[in-house]
Amino acid sequence: MVRWEAVIGLEVHARLLTRSKLFCACETAFGAAPNSKVCPVCLGYPGALPVPNRTAIDLAIRVALATGCTIHAESVFARKNYFYPDLPKGYQISQFDKPLATGGSLEIATRDGAREIGIIRIHVEEDAGKLIHDATGGATDDTSLVDLNRAGTPLIEIVSAPDLRSSEEAIAYLTRLRQIVMYCDACDGNMEEGSLRCDANVSVRRPGGELGTRTEVKNLNSFRFLGRAVDFEIERQIALLERGERVVQETRLFDPAEGVTRAMRSKEEAHDYRYFPEPDLPPLVIDVESISRIREGLPEMPGPRAARYRRDFALNVEDSETLVTSRELADYFERTIAAGASARAAANWVKNEVLGSCNQCKVELRDFRVTAEMLGETISMVESSEISGKAAKEVFEAMATNGGSPREIVERLGLAQLSDRDAIRAIARRVIAANAAQVEQFRSGRTGIFGFLVGQVMKESQGRANPEIANQILRECLDTEAR
């Protein structure tokens, strides 16, 4: 009997992968010298005006289409007003009551099967700069420094419906959303560098009852932090309510060192942003043609792709999800099949050997020496009994280290499988002749000794004999060739 139910919604900011900022031509380079990627527009100089970067808008539309949102023919930029040194104009150009897109969803796998999670809205906005408070960055005890390289870089904010019920679901949602923005080439998904940032709205209620008061938890820059912060917040709120106290609507910061959330000082959050339409920008008009052009350019998204793997390749949920983690991996998997491997074998090889090897050697899949074509050929050689599974692993290791074509390696290392029945029969006869005692035992009923004799055949063939054929022929010889 569940006494409390958590209600969670996520607000995710994704930095768009454009070369220039949202409203000026400055580069969006990460890690450049402080204040080296700035101009009068992103510094908020008097008289400088914003001009929208169409590429950023197109990327935002990609994500909106990929999550099934409705793209509005006309959306409106708005000014969000507040004073802070990382905000050069004293307002952030964002979207407010007329966002780019609304009403989408994505599907996550939960313990009780797949669930649709609503997406309320997606809007485009500019990022703020960065304040540097630590001495390594040049700040002192009583001064902070401002770096405005990031100011004006394009973001989208993706707001989910309060449809999530646990930290696992929140993580599953963020995982899928991260995959989607990456599939769209809209965002690099890097949470450590802040390319993808997440805030969580959390409340608890009696199952099926009225919504409780929510808190907003900020500073969740990893999946682990999201999980821990949400769990902490749920527990905290339940404890409050069970003590007969009330949850205060507030913004809280997650402290990863302590694993707790803490209320921000009320001053820090007591903002009246005074949104109003940005008069320096005309309404953002998006025509039907560009929407369909962008839609046509979208790749298959991870959800449908995983479902297709389950349907067409009979893969289970775990394997299909692993394979769609990134578009690159899923493409690799499909190219492996195209190169001749069966889906089942390709799936096993990709998720075990390929991912394992990449991890071990710390290389990205795109830099991995074994291409999908090489792997596909290797697997197909196993499947046509040209080499053994064991030999295939050797071929794979060799390719991962030095590259080369699988056939060459098989040849060079003499790994081709022996399937010639006469040759194997000759070996079997030699083994029978050389192991009279064991043959005698077998014939007197100790059939368990058969394995030993097969082993001898394999040994004699230097491991190259096709084990199935070796088995069959040895049995034939033992049964029919009485001495």
Q: Which does 26 bind (CB under 5 to 8 A by kind): another protein, Zn ion, none?
A: Zn ion
| Backbone φ, ψ for residue 25 (5° rounding) | -90, 5
Using the rule CB under 5 A, is 26 a contact of Zn ion? yes
Using the rule CB under 8 A, is 368 a contact of another protein? no
* Residues ≥6 apart with Cβ < 8 Å to 344: 313, 314, 315
Q: What is the DSSP letter of 447?
A: G
Of 46-54, 156-164, 255-263, 344-352, the segment contacting another protein by CB under 8 A is 46-54
How far is the CA of 227 from the CAs of 198, 241, 256, 435, in angstroms?
Answer: 11, 21, 11, 63
Q: Which does 42 bind (CB under 5 to 8 A by kind): Zn ion, another protein, none?
A: Zn ion
Which of 372, 293, 383 lies closest to 335 in space, CA to CA? 372
- Written as one string, the DSSP assignment of 99-148 is -SEEEEEEEEEETTEEEEEEEEEEEEEE---EEE-SGGGT-BTTB-EEE-
Please identify which residue in 276, 292, 304, 314 interacts with another protein, judged by CB under 8 A. 276
Burial of 239 (0-12, 13-18, 19+ CB in 10 A): exposed
**Tokens standing for residue 14:** 């994704």
Using the rule CB under 5 A, is 93 a contact of Zn ion? no
Residues 30-59 that bind Zn ion (CB under 5 A): 39, 41-42
Using the rule CB under 5 A, is 128 a contact of Zn ion? no
Q: Which amino acid is at 214?
A: R
Burial of 145 (0-12, 13-18, 19+ CB in 10 A): middle
Q: Which does 132 bind (CB under 5 to 8 A by kind): another protein, Zn ion, none?
A: none
Using the rule CB under 8 A, is 303 a contact of another protein? no
How far apart are CB 129 and Zn ion at their closest, in Å? 11
Provide the pairing of β-strand 215-218 with 251-255. Answer: parallel
Q: What is the DSSP letter of 351?
A: I
How far apart are CB 81 and another protein at their closest, in Å? 5
Contact at 8 Å (CB) between 321 and 330?
no
Q: Which does 43 bind (CB under 5 to 8 A by kind): Zn ion, another protein, none?
A: another protein
Give residue for tokens 């970067």. 53
Of 81-89, 189-197, 364-372, 412-420, the segment contacting another protein by CB under 8 A is 81-89
Of 1-9, 42-50, 185-193, 340-348, the segment contacting another protein by CB under 8 A is 42-50
Using the rule CB under 8 A, is 194 a contact of another protein? no
Q: Site mask, another protein, residues 90-129, x = CB under 8 A?
A: xx--------------------------------------
| Dist CA 347 CA 322 (whole Å) | 9
Which of 184, 181, 165, 158 lies closest to 115 in space, CA to CA? 165
> How many chain residues interact with another protein (CB under 8 A)?
29
Q: Site mask, another protein, residues 173-192, x = CB under 8 A?
A: --------------------
Using the rule CB under 8 A, is 55 a contact of another protein? no
Using the rule CB under 8 A, is 132 a contact of another protein? no
| Dist CA 109 CA 301 (whole Å) | 15
Q: Which is nearer to another protein, 81 or 219 (CB)?
A: 81
Contact at 8 Å (CB) between 159 and 69?
no
Q: Compute, in degrees rounded to 10, the torsion defined by CA atoms 243, 249, 253, 257.
A: 10
| Dist CA 387 CA 88 (whole Å) | 66
Using the rule CB under 8 A, is 142 a contact of another protein? yes
- Written as one string, the DSSP assignment of 251-277 is EEEEETTTTEEEEPPHHHH------EE
How far apart are CB 133 and another protein at their closest, in Å? 12
Using the rule CB under 8 A, is 264 a contact of another protein? no
Q: Site mask, another protein, residues 419-458, x = CB under 8 A?
A: ----------------------------------------
Please identify which residue in 97, 192, 272, 312 interacts with another protein, judged by CB under 8 A. 272
Using the rule CB under 5 A, is 24 a contact of Zn ion? yes
Q: Which does 253 bind (CB under 5 to 8 A by kind): Zn ion, another protein, none?
A: none
How far apart are CB 357 and another protein at their closest, in Å? 50
Q: Which is nearer to another protein, 142 or 364 (CB)?
A: 142
Phi-psi region at 445: left, alpha or beta (left = phi > 0; alpha = psi -120 to 50): left
Q: Which is nearer to another protein, 40 or 209 (CB)?
A: 40
Of 45-53, 67-75, 209-217, 230-238, the segment contacting another protein by CB under 8 A is 45-53
Using the rule CB under 8 A, is 134 a contact of another protein? no
| Dist CA 91 CA 274 (whole Å) | 10
> Which residues bind to Zn ion, rule: CB under 5 A?
24, 26, 39, 41-42
Task: By CB under 8 A, name the binding residues for another protein.
Answer: 40, 43-52, 79, 81, 83, 85, 88-91, 142, 146, 272, 274-276, 279-282
